[in-house]
């Protein structure tokens, strides 16, 4: 059922600056505008790239927890706040925890496939810096089965992935695993420094390997098997793009050279009330990635670049294994060897990913697609990688909760 009945394109991506916790090691403190600012900025930044907002047929917002971070729901009502010309048109908001942005992509895709829209403004947003990180961790615990939260760490999600990291250490060796996680962190920082909207753009640490080593595992002050450098950040941000049919691109005055095409996709859901079937495997990601590749009719060897959901460094490594780049247990080695670096075999998270660019939860899935759009159309600026014409495809993998809600998409430059 995952065959696309018509061509669907992505263009006109825009990211706000991803604002983070402003940890003093890296970042200066910054101002904290509200939810409205981010929606408006990402929306207007996208609409500025089309001839007339009146030619947009629908709007979608992906968001996870504005209800608690901002006490705001009825988010579709902010689509016409972006531009008057979007008023009285359809709008919707979608949720699947940190996979909300990916679900926004799916929703835009379906509107175009359903022919209820020729073009859709697809936006993801999260503004989390409205409370202290520890209280925010309670909010984010709503991405798991909240009833069970007391069985986890106070920092619930770091606790979940700390457990996964612990299982990986035990099975494959701790030193070995942490070498891979260190390199994952270093790649993330190096890539983020090339992207001016990234949270770690201003990270000036002279030796990233030494920085990583400075943070010791300490279960008394944080979770057992991760340090804060293994974690994505508490972020505020929004990303947006246009999804359109061929007719939609024409009406919006978008040249195909500025667009990518969605050539495959998958959406896979795991029962949130169950434990993951295997702590050292991201089973849902594995299924979604393979379904998406099958839907596109390609293999991993044809991928130029991937944006994968590294909410934690261990999730990045498990993702590499789930995709099939390395056997179970060999993912850390694959990363340590530099194969996922920007000049490696398969550049991953070329603008920093969730650890480097930031993780405004509901926006992340959209941000991933914007990055792939930038890379495949040559718009990534200093973060641009070279695209080998024999490997022309890009891929995004967006996850909500502990491998519960997963959306994978495959793209190529529009022809």
Q: Which of residues 141-170 bind a second copy (CB under 8 A)?
A: 141-147
Binder of a second copy out of 44, 110, 345, 391 (CB under 8 A) = 110
Cα–Cα distance between 191 and 338 in angstroms, integer? 13
Please list the residues that pair with 125 across neighbouring strands: 238
How far apart, in Å, are the Cα atoms of 66 and each of 14, 120, 128, 156, 296?
Answer: 21, 22, 8, 19, 34
Near a second copy by CB under 8 A: residue from 25, 81, 207, 299:
81
The binder of a second copy chosen from 56, 241, 268, 304 (CB under 8 A): 268
Size of interface with a second copy, in residues (CB under 8 A):
72
**Are 153 and 141 in contact, with CB atoms under 8 Å apart?**
no
Instruction: Candidates 270, 359, 412, 413: give the one binding a second copy (CB under 8 A).
Output: 270
Closest to a second copy by CB, 258 or 291:
291
Piece in contact with a second copy (CB under 8 A), picked from 83-91, 313-321, 341-349, 384-392: 83-91
Work out whether 117 is an interface residue with a second copy (CB under 8 A).
yes
* Interacting residues with a second copy between 1 and 20 (CB under 8 A): 1-3, 5
The DSSP element (H or E) to which 160 belongs, if any, is helix 156-172
Assign 10 to helix, strand or coil: strand
Interstrand relation of 119-127 and 58-62 (parallel, antiparallel or unpaired): parallel
Stretch that binds a second copy, among 81-89, 183-191, 327-335, 389-397 (CB under 8 A): 81-89
CA neighbours within 13 Å on the CB side: how many for 383?
33
Q: Which long-range contacts (CB under 8 A, 24 or more apart) does 390-393 make?
A: 390/302, 391/301, 391/302, 391/303, 391/304, 392/302, 392/304, 393/263, 393/296, 393/298, 393/302, 393/303, 393/304
Q: What is the CA radius of gyration of the chain?
A: 20
Task: Pick between residue 113 and residue 385 the one whose CB is nearest to a second copy.
Answer: 113
In the bound complex, what is the minimum distance in angstroms from residue 400's beta carbon to a second copy? 5
By beta-carbon proximity to a second copy, the closer residue of 69 and 334 is: 69
Nearest approach, Cβ of residue 113 and a second copy (Å):
4
- How many other CB atoms sit within 10 Å of the CB of residue 284? 24
Asked whether position 267 contacts a second copy by CB under 8 A, the answer is yes
72 binds a second copy (CB under 8 A): yes
CB contact at 8 A, 280 and 164: yes
Binding segment for a second copy (CB under 8 A), chosen from 112-120, 157-165, 191-199, 385-393, is 112-120
43, 59, 124, 152: which one binds a second copy (CB under 8 A): 59
Tell the smallest beta-carbon distance from residue 1 to a second copy (Å). Answer: 6
86 interacts with a second copy by CB under 8 A: yes
Helices 364-377 and 100-113 pack at an angle, to 10 degrees, of 60
Is residue 88 a contact residue for a second copy (CB under 8 A)? yes
Q: Does 175 bind a second copy (CB under 8 A)?
A: no
Closer of 130 and 384 to a second copy (Cβ): 130
Q: Which stretch binds a second copy (CB under 8 A): 14-22, 65-73, 195-203, 316-324?
A: 65-73
Q: Which one among 355, 404, 408, 409 touches a second copy, defined by CB under 8 A?
A: 404
Contact with a second copy (CB under 8 A) among 27, 46, 107, 199: 107
User: Whose CA is closest to 242, among 265, 259, 263, 264?
Assistant: 259
User: Which residues ranging from 284 to 303 are in contact with a second copy (CB under 8 A)?
Assistant: 284, 287
Cross-strand partners of 236: 19, 127
Give the tokens for residue 108.
Answer: 């835009």
Q: Does 271 bind a second copy (CB under 8 A)?
A: yes
List the interface residues with a second copy, window 33-52 (CB under 8 A): 34, 36
User: Closest by alpha carbon to 117, among 251, 266, 318?
Assistant: 251
C-beta closer to a second copy: residue 117 or 306: 117
Nearest residue (CB) to a second copy, 84 versus 379: 84
Residues 6+ apart with CB under 8 A from 16: 38, 41, 42, 45, 197, 237, 238, 239
């Amino acid at each position: 059922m995952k065959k696309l009945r018509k061509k669907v394109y992505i263009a006109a991506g825009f990211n706000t600056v991803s604002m983070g916790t402003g940890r003093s090691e890296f970042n200066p403190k910054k101002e904290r505008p509200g939810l409205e600012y981010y929606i408006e900025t990402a929306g207007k930044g996208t609409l500025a790239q089309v001839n007339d907002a009146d030619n947009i047929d629908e709007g979608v917002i992906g968001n996870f927890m504005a209800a608690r971070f901002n006490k705001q729901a009825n988010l579709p009502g902010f689509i016409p706040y972006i531009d008057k010309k979007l008023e009285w048109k359809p709008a919707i908001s979608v949720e699947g925890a940190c996979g909300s942005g990916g679900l926004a992509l799916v929703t835009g895709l379906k509107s175009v496939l359903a022919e209820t829209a020729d073009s859709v403004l697809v936006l993801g947003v999260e503004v989390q810096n409205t409370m202290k990180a520890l209280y925010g961790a309670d909010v984010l615990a709503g991405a798991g089965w909240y009833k069970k939260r007391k069985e986890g760490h106070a920092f619930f999600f770091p606790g979940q992935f700390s457990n996964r990291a612990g299982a990986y250490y035990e099975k494959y060796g701790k030193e070995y695993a942490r070498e891979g996680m260190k390199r994952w962190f270093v790649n993330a920082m190096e890539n983020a420094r090339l992207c001016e909207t990234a949270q770690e753009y201003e990270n000036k640490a002279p030796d990233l390997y030494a920085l990583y080593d400075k943070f010791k595992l300490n279960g008394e002050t944080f979770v057992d098997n991760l340090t804060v450098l293994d974690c994505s950040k508490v972020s505020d941000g929004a990303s947006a793009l246009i999804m359109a049919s061929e007719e939609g691109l024409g009406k919006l005055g978008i040249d195909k050279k500025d667009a990518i095409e969605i050539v495959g996709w998958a959406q896979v859901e795991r029962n949130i009330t169950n434990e993951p079937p295997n702590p050292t495997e991201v089973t849902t990601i594995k299924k979604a990635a393979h379904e998406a590749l099958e839907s596109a009719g390609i293999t991993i060897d044809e991928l130029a670049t991937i944006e994968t959901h590294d909410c934690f460094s261990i999730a990045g490594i498990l993702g590499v294994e789930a995709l099939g780049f390395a056997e179970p247990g060999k993912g850390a080695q694959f990363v340590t060897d530099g194969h996922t670096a920007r000049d490696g075999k398969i550049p991953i998270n070329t603008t920093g990913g969730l650890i480097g660019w930031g993780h405004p939860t509901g926006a992340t899935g959209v941000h991933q697609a914007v990055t792939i759009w930038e890379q495949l159309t040559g718009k990534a600026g200093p973060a641009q990688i070279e695209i080998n014409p024999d490997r022309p495809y890009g891929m995004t993998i967006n996850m909500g909760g502990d491998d519960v809600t997963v959306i994978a998409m495959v793209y190529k430059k529009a022809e």
